[in-house]
């Protein structure tokens, strides 16, 4: 059923039940996100797509649109909240863009630019996290994990359907883990899929680091905003 | 080992949604859940071993390495610390011979911290294996540990008279119920459950829902959603099966009324579930019982059995075509599982991560089917509403908060325990009733609620539209340091955050850090401003109630007691913030110079 909603004062038409973040993108309004992948089930973990819906703040990837919904995206308070969430991610892990293989194709970095982040308002924590090189094709650079859960939910062993990536422990003690036996069985295209799906430089494909020159990488050619507005799945 | 795990797997038909039960069985068998057991379970369930670890590592009471013959979990809560916790902790370390977080040399004892265990009216208290000990003192600890060292089981020490675990006398030998004031709804002896249920089964389901709706009963877990509406929506939702879940994961620090209800009036609760099942068309019910209440499990199983024998549960209930039965699902230690969608995930054998909503449980809940989750007290109220009618119930309380509510009262008062109040009484009235001398503040609804000032809020009413209360009522007199209490609450939230969303996982840590700065005398006005702004961020953007409520103790004490915070902040001297420790920052250079620069260069 076709419904009408307003986004920042503009009336737009959409199909009832469509995710708000998609409806916004289809109508030229970019809402940043770090966990949502268009076409896949909503994860709702990063909250960076928070917007105001009828006066309450909601993550737009979790909101199915209904008729008459009033949405505010570029209102100062909620815009600052999105920025704050990105800043929180930068201090929670260790993100050193200049020395990261993922620079230029990293969504956290790209979204950092989009929300105009200069420096984090939160104190840097410099956590000590162990990296994991054991698997043949992948190394896990845990310093950069933002716990978006994309790899946990969307990358499964082709044969058994089992989880290859998983989260150990909870809260501040959580860490991303990889099942080495299953990971070593991943075909090359699945390894590439996992590393591309990772919004940061945590899942790194061994031997790939600098295959594309800096300056010619994904978000350097076309910004994350432009890609989202074109309906890019990521 | 192989044989044992196979029999556990076949007991649950290799159903991975029963993983938590399997893990408990393994832990009971081996004392911990080791790698080999995880490997065998993973083979049997077609899950990767790490997938099983995801679940194990989420829960506080699952242990993965040998941790002593007896595991001692001492409750570390605000209330315990007001009642001699430090002495008891020191006595435990002394008697056992190891520090908390460790296992002693003889591998007999492991000492661990745990959050509120639902005994705030009899703290300090500890769990040892499958029993609890209350009102602890250093002398009592010495005696208990001494007996365990002689080879007695914890059960033998706690229940020296050898009461049957299925009998209420057994529960009585472990804990007190401390029911201080009774009202019209709860703890009524001699209810004729058969007659009440027969009355219900003579009506059509929509009539039952209508009675519950017109009683205006609202969910007693805290959120206050209208129970009748929840049932109607669940009844109307499409599904091949429907489920009733009783939320007995009473994890909110300071509350213990569900424990007392399950002890004193378990059948009121069970009958409420049966009535709900009939009303929405469910055949299967689950009681999700927190680990901290595991000493109630055999007793509750016995109550279920008696209900079955009386024809109130099972097939053809009271000789009608209505079938319904209930199983008990043990939790494994996670506050977040009090959230209904996290609880459902846990019932499915997974990490207790709150789901993205919509869909809501009434649409897609347990196993993807419409599910109605209600609190223990809600079900007990239903039983009485169907016995006495909705007008009777509406005659109590206020227009929008009908009936009565059980308060779990703890902290600085003469009579900690359970009080049944009519909604609408004032804060001062309750304080007088419980014998609170010189009260300064009350933390209403536990850490997730609000801190009120007795001086400013004394005449406010306890009801959904004013001071909404989930049952937890912690009193602090004028001798207490509220900021210390806030630190304890923030530590609790950081520990209990599931970590699925950014604002709660990361934001809580920053707020805790600010509280530590305040207590260290290194915070300034900017830190208070940050707290307000970062707290608002968490409240607005977190995924579930844990994150949205975590800043509340801090924000509400700042609002009600601004002078406390103004007294402890300091002025910036010069260009540096007081939180910046120049000495400490420079130590890094000194250390690097000492370790990295060669002697000859120095």
Cβ neighbors of B5 (< 8 A, separation 6 or more) are B26, B37, B40, B41, B44
pLDDT for position B310: 97
SS3 B348: coil
- Whether A139 contacts A206, CB under 8 Å: yes
DSSP 8-state code for residue A156: B
Q: Is B516 exposed, middle or buried (0-12, 13-18, 19+ CB in 10 A)?
A: middle
SS3 B23: helix
CA distance A54 to chain B (A): 13
Q: Which of B195, B145, B202 is nearest to B388 (CA)?
A: B195
Tell me the CA distances in angstroms from B20 to A125, B397, B400, one per residue in order.
34, 40, 39
**Mean pLDDT, range A91-102, rounded to an integer:** 94
Q: In the structure encoding, which two tokens stand for residue B303, read together?
A: 């109550």
Cα Rg, chain B, nearest whole Å: 25
Contacts of A167 in chain B (CB under 8 A): 54, 351, 499
Question: Between B513, B534, B541, which is nearest A50 by CB?
Answer: B541
Q: Which of B435, B437, B472 is nearest to B452 (CA)?
A: B472
Domains and CATH numbers, chain B: 2-58 (no CATH), 70-158 (3.40.30.10), 181-394 (3.40.50.11540), 405-480 (3.10.20.600), 484-568 (1.20.1440.230)
DSSP alpha helix (H) spans, chain A: 20-26, 76-92, 107-114, 150-154, 180-184, 188-197, 218-221, 224-229
**Strand A10-15 to strand A50-53: parallel, antiparallel, or no bridges (unpaired)?**
unpaired
Tell me the CA distances in angstroms from B463 to B427, B459, B460, B534, one per residue in order.
10, 12, 9, 29
Chain B interface mutation, best of A88, A165, A186, highest count of B Cβ atoms under 10 Å = A88
Q: What is the pLDDT of residues A150-197, one digit of tens each?
A: 999 999 999 999 999 999 999 999 999 999 999 999 999 999 999 999
pLDDT for position B575: 83
* Rounded Cα distance, A226 and B28, in Å: 56
Question: Between A48, A125, A163, which is nearest B48 by CB?
Answer: A163
How many A×B Cβ pairs under 8 Å?
118
Contacts of B46 in chain A (CB under 8 A): 160-162
DSSP 8-state code for residue B324: B
Contacts of A169 in chain B (CB under 8 A): 57-58
Question: Between A50, A122, A171, which is nearest B494 by CB?
Answer: A171
Residue A57 has pLDDT above 80, yes or no: yes
Q: Report the residue count for chain A.
A: 234
DSSP alpha helix (H) spans, B310-453: 340-347, 376-388, 390-394, 427-434
**ipTM surpassing 0.90:** yes
Q: Which of B117, B124, B121, B112 is nearest to B81 (CA)?
A: B124
What is the CB-side half-sphere exposure of residue B188 using CA atoms within 13 A?
16
Q: Residue B182: count other Cβ atoms within 10 Å of its Cβ.
A: 13
Contacts of A160 in chain B (CB under 8 A): 46
Searching chain A, which residue's CA lies closest to the CA of residue B535?
A81
Across the interface, whether the CB atoms of A81 and B54 are under 8 A apart is answered no
Residue A234 has pLDDT above 70, yes or no: no
Cα Rg, chain A, nearest whole Å: 18
- Whether A138 contacts A194, CB under 8 Å: yes
Searching chain B, which residue's CA lies closest to the CA of residue A80?
B537
pLDDT for position A151: 98
Across the interface, whether the CB atoms of B46 and A162 are under 8 A apart is answered yes
* Rounded Cα distance, B482 and B562, in Å: 11
pLDDT for position A233: 65
Searching chain A, which residue's CA lies closest to the CA of residue B537?
A81
A 72-91 residues with CB < 8 A to B:
78, 81, 84-85, 88-89, 91
Across the interface, whether the CB atoms of A42 and B356 are under 8 A apart is answered yes
- Whether B541 contacts B503, CB under 8 Å: yes
Across the interface, whether the CB atoms of A88 and B507 are under 8 A apart is answered yes
CA distance B60 to chain A (A): 9
* Rounded Cα distance, B578 and B514, in Å: 12
Across the interface, whether the CB atoms of A44 and B507 are under 8 A apart is answered no
Searching chain A, which residue's CA lies closest to the CA of residue B510?
A122
Q: In the structure encoding, which two tokens stand for residue B529, read together?
A: 């401003």
CA distance B528 to chain A (A): 14
Q: Report the residue count for chain B.
A: 602
Cβ neighbors of B139 (< 8 A, separation 6 or more) are none
Cβ neighbors of B85 (< 8 A, separation 6 or more) are B74, B75, B76, B123, B124
**CA B346-A19-B347 angle, 5° bins:** 5
| Fold held by A2-73 | Ubiquitin-like (UB roll) (3.10.20)
CA distance A227 to chain B (A): 24
Tell me the CA distances in angstroms from B396 to B184, B186, B217, one per residue in order.
9, 13, 11
- Strand order of the β-sheet with A2-7 is A10-15, A2-7, A70-72, A50-53, A56-59
pLDDT means over runs of 10, chain B (602 residues):
94 97 97 96 96 97 95 97 97 97 95 97 97 98 97 96 96 97 96 98 97 97 94 97 98 97 98 98 98 98 98 97 98 97 98 96 98 98 98 96 97 98 97 97 96 97 95 97 95 96 97 97 96 98 97 96 96 85 84 87 76
Residue whose tokens read 């300091």: B570
- Strand order of the β-sheet with B243-248 is B325-330, B284-289, B243-248, B371-375
* Rounded Cα distance, A27 and A37, in Å: 18
* Rounded Cα distance, B403 and B381, in Å: 8
Q: Residue B341: count other Cβ atoms within 10 Å of its Cβ.
A: 24
Percent of chain A at pLDDT above 70?
A: 99
* Rounded Cα distance, B302 and B541, in Å: 44
* Rounded Cα distance, B495 and A171, in Å: 7
* Rounded Cα distance, B178 and B176, in Å: 6
- Whether B248 contacts B118, CB under 8 Å: no
pLDDT for position B592: 87
* Rounded Cα distance, A11 and A132, in Å: 49
SS3 B121: helix
Across the interface, whether the CB atoms of A171 and B496 are under 8 A apart is answered yes
Write out the residues of chain B at the interface with chain A, using a CB-CB cutoff of 8 A: 46-51, 53-54, 57-58, 334, 351, 356-358, 494-503, 505-507, 509-510, 513, 530, 534, 537, 540-543
Contacts of B498 in chain A (CB under 8 A): 170-171
Across the interface, whether the CB atoms of B497 and A171 are under 8 A apart is answered yes
- E-strand ranges in B312-453 read 325-330, 371-375, 404-411, 417-422, 439-444, 450-453
Query: A125 touching B, CB under 8 A?
Result: yes
Q: Indicate the domain borders of chain A.
A: 2-73, 88-211
Contacts of A59 in chain B (CB under 8 A): 541, 543
Q: What is the mean pLDDT of chain A?
A: 96
Q: Is domain A88-211 given the CATH code 3.90.1150.10 in the classification?
A: no
CA distance B331 to chain A (A): 16
Residue whose tokens read 């949604």: B17
The answer to whether the A2-73 and A88-211 domains have the same CATH topology is no
pLDDT for position A192: 96
Across the interface, whether the CB atoms of B505 and A44 are under 8 A apart is answered no
Query: For residues B476-492, b (16+ Cβ closer than 10 Å) or e, as one string?
Result: bbeebebbebbbbbbbb
Contacts of B495 in chain A (CB under 8 A): 171
Q: What is the pLDDT of residues A103-145, one digit of tens each?
A: 999 999 999 999 999 999 999 999 999 999 999 999 999 999 9
């Amino acid at each position: 059923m076709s419904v009408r909603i307003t986004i920042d004062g503009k009336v737009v038409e959409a199909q009832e039940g469509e995710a708000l973040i998609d409806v916004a993108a289809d109508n030229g309004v970019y809402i940043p996100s770090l966990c949502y992948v268009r076409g896949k089930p909503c994860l709702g973990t990063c909250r960076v797509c928070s917007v105001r819906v009828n006066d309450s703040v909601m993550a737009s990837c979790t909101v199915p649109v209904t008729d008459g919904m009033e949405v505010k995206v570029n209102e100062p308070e909620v815009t600052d909240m999105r920025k704050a969430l990105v800043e929180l991610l930068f201090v929670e892990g260790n993100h050193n863009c200049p020395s990261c293989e993922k620079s230029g194709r990293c969504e956290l970095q790209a979204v950092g630019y989009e929300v105009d982040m200069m420096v984090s308002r939160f104190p840097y924590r410099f956590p000590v996290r162990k990296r994991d090189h054991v698997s043949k094709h992948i190394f896990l650079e845990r310093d950069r994990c933002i716990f978006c859960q994309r790899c946990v939910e969307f990358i499964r062993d082709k044969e058994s359907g089992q989880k290859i990536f998983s989260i150990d422990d909870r809260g501040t003690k959580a860490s991303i883990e990889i099942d080495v036996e299953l990971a070593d069985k991943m075909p090359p295209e699945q390894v590439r899929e996992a590393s591309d799906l990772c919004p940061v430089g945590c899942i790194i494909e061994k031997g790939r680091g600098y295959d594309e020159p800096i300056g010619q990488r994904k978000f350097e050619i076309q910004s994350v905003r432009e890609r989202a507005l074109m309906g890019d799945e990521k | 080992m192989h044989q044992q795990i196979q029999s556990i797997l076949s007991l649950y038909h290799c159903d991975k949604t029963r993983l938590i039960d399997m893990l408990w069985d393994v832990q009971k068998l081996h004392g911990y859940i080791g790698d080999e057991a995880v490997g065998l379970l993973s083979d049997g369930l077609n899950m990767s071993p790490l997938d099983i670890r995801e679940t194990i590592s989420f829960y506080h009471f699952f242990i993965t390495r040998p941790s002593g013959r007896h595991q001692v979990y001492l409750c570390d809560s605000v209330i315990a610390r007001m009642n001699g916790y430090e002495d008891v902790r020191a006595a435990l370390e002394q008697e056992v011979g190891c520090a908390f977080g460790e296992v002693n040399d003889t591998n007999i004892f492991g000492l661990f911290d745990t959050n509120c265990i639902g005994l705030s009216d009899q703290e300090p208290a500890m769990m040892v294996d499958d029993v609890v000990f209350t009102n602890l003192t250093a002398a009592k600890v010495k005696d208990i540990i001494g007996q365990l060292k002689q080879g007695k089981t914890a059960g033998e020490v706690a229940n020296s008279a050898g009461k049957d675990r299925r009998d209420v006398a057994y529960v009585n030998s472990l804990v007190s119920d401390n029911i201080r004031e009774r009202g019209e709804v709860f703890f009524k002896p001699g209810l004729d459950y058969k007659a009440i249920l027969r009355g219900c089964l003579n009506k059509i389901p929509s009539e039952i829902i209508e009675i519950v709706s017109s009683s205006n009963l609202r969910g007693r877990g805290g959120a206050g959603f209208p129970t009748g509406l929840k049932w109607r929506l669940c009844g109307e939702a499409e599904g091949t099966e429907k489920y009733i879940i009783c939320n007995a994961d009473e994890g909110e620090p300071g509350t213990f009324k569900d424990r007392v209800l399950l002890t004193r009036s378990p059948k009121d609760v069970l009958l409420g579930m049966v009535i709900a099942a009939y009303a929405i068309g469910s055949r299967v019910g689950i009681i999700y019982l927190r680990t901290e209440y595991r000493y109630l499990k055999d007793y509750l199983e016995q109550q279920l059995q008696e209900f079955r024998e009386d024809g109130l549960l099972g097939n053809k209930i009271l000789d009608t075509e209505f079938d319904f039965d209930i199983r008990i699902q043990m939790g494994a230690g996670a506050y977040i599982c009090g959230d209904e969608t996290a609880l459902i995930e846990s019932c499915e054998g997974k990490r207790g991560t709150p789901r993205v909503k919509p869909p809501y449980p009434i649409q897609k809940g347990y196993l993807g089917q419409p599910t109605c989750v209600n609190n223990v007290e809600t079900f007990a109220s239903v039983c009485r509403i169907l016995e006495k009618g909705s007008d009777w119930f509406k005659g109590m309380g206020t227009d929008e908060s009908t009936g009565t509510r059980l308060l779990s009262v703890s902290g600085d008062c003469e009579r900690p325990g359970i009080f049944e109040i009519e909604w609408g009484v004032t804060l001062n009235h309750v304080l007088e009733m419980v014998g609170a001398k010189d009260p300064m503040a009350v933390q209403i609804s536990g850490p997730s609620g609000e801190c009120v000032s007795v001086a400013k809020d004394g005449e406010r009413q306890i009801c959904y539209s004013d001071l909404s209360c989930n049952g937890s009522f912690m009193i602090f007199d004028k001798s207490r340091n509220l900021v210390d209490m806030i630190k304890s609450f923030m530590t609790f939230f950081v520990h209990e955050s599931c970590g699925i969303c950014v604002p709660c996982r990361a934001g809580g840590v920053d707020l805790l850090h600010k509280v530590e700065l305040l207590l260290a005398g290194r915070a300034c006005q900017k830190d208070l401003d940050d707290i307000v702004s970062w707290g608002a961020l968490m409240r607005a953007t977190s995924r579930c109630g844990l994150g949205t409520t975590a800043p509340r103790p801090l924000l509400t004490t700042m609002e009600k007691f601004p002078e406390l915070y103004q007294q402890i902040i300091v002025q910036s001297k010069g260009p540096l913030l007081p939180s910046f420790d120049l000495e400490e920052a420079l130590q890094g250079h000194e250390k690097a110079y000492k370790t990295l620069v060669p002697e000859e260069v120095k």
